[in-house]
Amino acid sequence: MTTSGTFTIKIKAAPEVVWPWISQLDKHPQWSPKPYQVEFVSGVPNSVGARYKSIGWVPGDKNHGNEVEITEVVTNSRFALDAHDEGGVFQDFYDLRPTSEGTEVTFTLVFPKMKGLSAILVPILFPLVGKADIRKRMGMLKTRAESVR
């Protein structure tokens, strides 16, 4: 069984205003409810193939590290990345859709197939803890993007 989640928020700002908040990984800490760091490693920043290191919070590990690679960039429309850690590859997808009032942003997170104790705990913890954290993060994205005028 694969764990995943999809989260949608409406932002009263045009896609070109929202886009930098999503596509520039160095901005992600500004809309994270918990401490989060991103460091550029190689490639062309914010482009397909660019690599980053990130450190952030996951249940049981407040300094969890990931090796991140951008896998898709369609300006003002779609941004995707893979985050690699000891558990496997986590896939993140951001889809932007223009609306009459601004932009609808849909974020999808797909976990790798979990093994061992993680296979039991992740399907329980993600709905209880992870989803609330992502909803807060999406709310912070909305606040940041709507504050740009």
Q: What is the tens place of the pLDDT at every residue in 12-34?
A: 999 999 999 999 999 999 999 98
Position 1 scores a pLDDT of 58
**pLDDT for 136 beyond 90:** yes
pLDDT reading at 6 higher than 90: yes
- Supply the pLDDT for residue 133: 85
Residue 78 near residue 72, CB atoms below 8 Å: yes
Spatial distance between the Cα atoms of 47 and 95, rounded to a whole number of angstroms: 16
Helix pair 131-147, 15-23: axis angle to 10 deg: 130
pLDDT, residue 58, reads 77
- pLDDT value, residue 149: 62
Q: What pLDDT was estimated at residue 96?
A: 98
Statement: residue 113 has pLDDT above 80: yes
In the beta sheet, which residues pair with residue 6?
108
Q: 13, 146 in Cβ contact below 8 A?
A: yes
- pLDDT at position 70 is 98
pLDDT tens-digit readout, 33-90: 989 999 999 999 999 999 999 998 877 788 989 999 999 999 999 999 999 988 889 9
What's the predicted TM-score (pTM) here?
Answer: 0.90
50 in Cβ contact with 68 (< 8 Å): no
Residue 41 CA, distance from chain mean position? 18
In the chain, the largest separation of any two C-alpha atoms, in whole Å, equals 48
Cα–Cα distance list, 87 to 25, 66, 111, 112 (Å): 22, 10, 9, 7
Q: Is 70 exceeded by the pLDDT of residue 127?
A: no
